[in-house]
Amino acid sequence: MTDVLKFGGTSVGSAERILDVARLVRTRGGDPCLVVVSAMAGVTDFLVGLRNSSKDKERAATESKLDELEDRHRATLDGLVLSEGEARSCAVAIDEEMRRCRELSLGISLLEEISPRTSDALLAIGELICSRLVAAALRASGGESVWIDPREILATNASYGAALADEKETAVRVALRVAPHLAAGRTVVTGGFVGAAPDGSTTTLGRGGSDYSAALFGAALHDVGRAVGRIEIWTDVDGILTADPRIVPAARLVPEVSYPEAAELAFFGAKVLHPATIRPAVARGIPVAVRNSFRPECPGTVVRQDAPGNGVRAVAMRRGVTALFVGSPRMLLAHGYAAKVFSVFEKHGVPVDVIATSEVSISITVDEKASLEGVVRDLSEFAEVSLLPHLAVISVVGKGLRSTAGVAVRVFGAVGDVNVVLISQGASDTNVTFVVDGNDAPEALRRLHREFFE
Ligand code: ADP
Ligand code: ASP
Ligand code: MG
């Protein structure tokens, strides 16, 4: 039985934490695992800053960022106290990645432009370095382990920044490069988040994408005939909690959730799990567990096909949302109006989020980072359009919510005097979703939590 263990940034944020991870992997017993590693905590954000300062030609700031990044990884390497040979090969790897990082940064500066392809090559560096350090720490702790470049095994399309996996090709590569090591009793370590396009160039799966990598590798192992026990997402909280503990300190552990509930929670802002993680796992019936690397004794949350109990399981919020109100008197009884509205979003590649309709208007929320210029221009040809920015989506997630009497009354009763901009209920049996001003969202979330869990 192979387990896939994914360690997030906070779990590998320092030399001490990497040594803890090595200990955790080595002492768990059983068959060798596939270990998927994120960049060290904060490194991907740092690379985003570096990319932007390179483009803006802030040379001094960029140089100091490059030095800081190199220093952080070198200091971590020193803290691992490896054998001379092991330390040397890690130092060479850091050198190579940092040289590449400097070249990319310079290229961006010269062109004053960030292509999605160059951006991915730069953002991947955190995972490429950190996963090598984890592999070395594992070997130093006495475990037999090999590092594999994620670009050799995770095949994706060329949608840089949010690449989609080619699951068939990934399975072929995993069969060839990963399975034989596992069969020979070696732990395999690779980087999350990073893959390769058909032409071999580096791609990334989008922010938080290491969870998705872990699920894809679990799926690939399953597809090539290895029994996969579960996918474990190791992070800095005890598991999936009833709310984000950073906003609701009283949040408590949810021991079991179903796939649909976990998918809704992830989609509606519970950052603890990347939304796409669930899909490859569900398709193959592989359970996903979320666990705390700071407290390995805690059993965490298990996400499986079905979870016992009905009712509200957790609440989540996602900031950074804009609402569009698309209204037209001509819409009354107009056939095909909704299709016409949505085709505009489709044409401009803007994914729609929460939708609510009335007889005279359609309200739609989208991610505020989406470029809306074209959408608004095209909609304005046949409708009146207004925008409301700085909103947040709040979602109450659980099983059987559509059929449970009184949920909506409790939700909106609890929210009280917070102004609700838009409501969507009943589209799925697993959530009640509404939209509020971004500034009101944390308070609304706390009130909901009090109502359902405290
Ligand atoms: P990692 O670096 O391990 O990938 P993330 O920062 O991506 O970690 O995700 C873990 C964080 O998700 C937690 O620290 C917590 O603040 C946040 N979070 C949001 N919603 C929830 C929730 N419902 N349960 C647990 N954590 C949550
Ligand atoms: N390091 C990447 C990020 O910060 C991927 C991940 O951690 O899942 O988004
Ligand atoms: Mg994450």
Cα of 367 from ligand 2 centre, angstroms: 19
The lowest-confidence range among 93-102, 224-233, 282-291, 420-429 is 420-429
Q: 131 in ligand 2 pocket by Cβ < 6 Å?
A: no
Task: Give pLDDT, residue 387.
Answer: 96
Q: Please check the confidence at residue 427 and state whether its pLDDT lies above 80.
A: no
pLDDT digits (tens, 9 = 90+) for 299-316: 999 999 888 888 899 999
Residue minimizing CA distance to atom 4 of ligand 1: 8
With contact defined as beta carbons under 8 Å apart, do 14 and 76 qualify?
yes
- Looking at all shown ligands, the one closest to residue 213's CA atom is 2
Give the residue-averaged pLDDT of 117-136.
98
Residue 72 and residue 13: Cα distance in Å, rounded? 10
Give the residue-averaged pLDDT of 46-50.
97
Residue minimizing CA distance to atom 12 of ligand 1: 272
- Looking at all shown ligands, the one closest to residue 214's CA atom is 2
Q: CA neighbours within 13 Å on the CB side: how many for 72?
A: 20
Pairing of strands 145-148, 228-235: unpaired
Cα of 286 from ligand 3 centre, angstroms: 19
pLDDT digits (tens, 9 = 90+) for 376-402: 999 999 899 999 999 999 999 999 888
CA angle 321, 326, 332 (to 5 degrees): 145
pLDDT digits (tens, 9 = 90+) for 186-245: 999 999 999 999 999 999 999 999 999 999 999 999 999 999 999 999 999 999 999 999
Cα of 194 from ligand 1 centre, angstroms: 20
Q: Please check the confidence at residue 30 and state whether its pLDDT lies above 80.
A: yes
The lowest-confidence range among 31-35, 51-55, 307-311 is 307-311
Q: Which atom of ligand 1 is nearest to the CA of 270?
A: 20
Task: Give pLDDT, residue 333.
Answer: 55
- Looking at all shown ligands, the one closest to residue 267's CA atom is 1
Q: Which atom of ligand 2 is nearest to the CA of 209?
A: 8
Residue 400 and residue 388: Cα distance in Å, rounded? 32
Q: 209 in ligand 2 pocket by Cβ < 6 Å?
A: yes
Q: Please check the confidence at residue 22 and state whether its pLDDT lies above 90.
A: yes
| CA neighbor of 69 nearest in space, from 89, 87, 53 | 53
In this prediction the pTM is: 0.94
Give the residue, out of 244, 254, 293, with the most ligand 1 atoms within 8 A of its beta carbon, to mutate for a pocket test. 244
| CA neighbor of 387 nearest in space, from 318, 322, 321, 319 | 322
Domains with residue ranges and CATH for the chain: 2-236 (3.40.1160.10), 312-453 (3.30.2130.10)
| CA neighbor of 93 nearest in space, from 109, 79, 112, 74 | 74
- Residue partners of 411: CB distance under 8 A and separation at least 6: 396, 432, 434, 448, 451
Q: How far from each other are the two terminal CA atoms of the chain, in whole angstroms?
A: 39
What's phi and psi for 360, nearest 5 deg?
Answer: -115, -5
Cα of 213 from ligand 3 centre, angstroms: 11
What's phi and psi for 192, nearest 5 deg?
Answer: -85, 180
Neighbouring CB atoms inside 10 A of 450's CB total 12
**What integer best gives the mean pLDDT of the chain?**
94
Cα of 149 from ligand 1 centre, angstroms: 26
The C-alpha torsion from 372 through 375 and 376 to 380, rounded to 10°, is: 180
**What is the 3-class SS of the chain, one letter each residue?**
CEEEEEECHHHHCCHHHHHHHHHHHHCCCCCCCEEEECCCCCHHHHHHHHHHHHHCCCHHHHHHHHHHHHHHHHHHHHHCCCCHHHHHHHHHHHHHHHHHHHHHHHHHHHHCCCCHHHHHHHHCHHHHHHHHHHHHHHHHCCCCEEEECHHHHCEECCCCCCCCECHHHHHHHHHHHCHHHHHCCCEEEEECCEEECCCCCEEECCCCCHHHHHHHHHHHHHHCCCCEEEEEEEECCCCCECCCCCCCCCCCECCEEEHHHHHHHHHCCCCCCCHHHHHHHHHHCCCEEEEECCCCCCCCEEEECCCCCCEEEEEEEEEEEEEEEEECHHHCCCCCHHHHHHHHHHHCCCCCCCEEECCCEEEEEEECCCCCHHHHHHHHCCCEEEEEEEEEEEEEEEECCCCCCCHHHHHHHHHCCCCEEEEEECCCCCEEEEEEECCCHHHHHHHHHHHHHC
| Higher pLDDT, residue 403 or 73 | 73
Task: Give pLDDT, residue 329.
Answer: 67
With contact defined as beta carbons under 8 Å apart, do 453 and 432 qualify?
no
146 burial level (CB within 10 Å; 0-12, 13-18, 19+): middle
pLDDT digits (tens, 9 = 90+) for 324-347: 999 876 666 577 888 899 999 999
% of the chain surpassing 70 pLDDT? 99
% of the chain surpassing 90 pLDDT? 87
- Residue partners of 357: CB distance under 8 A and separation at least 6: 338, 363
Give the residue, out of 134, 190, 207, 274, with the most ligand 2 atoms within 8 A of its beta carbon, to mutate for a pocket test. 207
Give the residue-averaged pLDDT of 71-94.
97
Give the residue, out of 233, 272, 290, with the most ligand 1 atoms within 8 A of its beta carbon, to mutate for a pocket test. 272
Task: Give pLDDT, residue 15.
Answer: 98
Q: Please check the confidence at residue 76 and state whether its pLDDT lies above 60.
A: yes
Task: Give pLDDT, residue 307.
Answer: 82
Cα of 273 from ligand 3 centre, angstroms: 6
CA 283 and chain centroid, separation: 19
Task: Give pLDDT, residue 154.
Answer: 98
Q: 234 in ligand 2 pocket by Cβ < 6 Å?
A: no
Cα of 267 from ligand 3 centre, angstroms: 13
Residue minimizing CA distance to atom 9 of ligand 2: 207
The lowest-confidence range among 98-102, 268-272, 406-410 is 406-410
Residue 383 and residue 375: Cα distance in Å, rounded? 11
Task: Give pLDDT, residue 341.
Answer: 92
Residue minimizing CA distance to atom 5 of ligand 2: 208
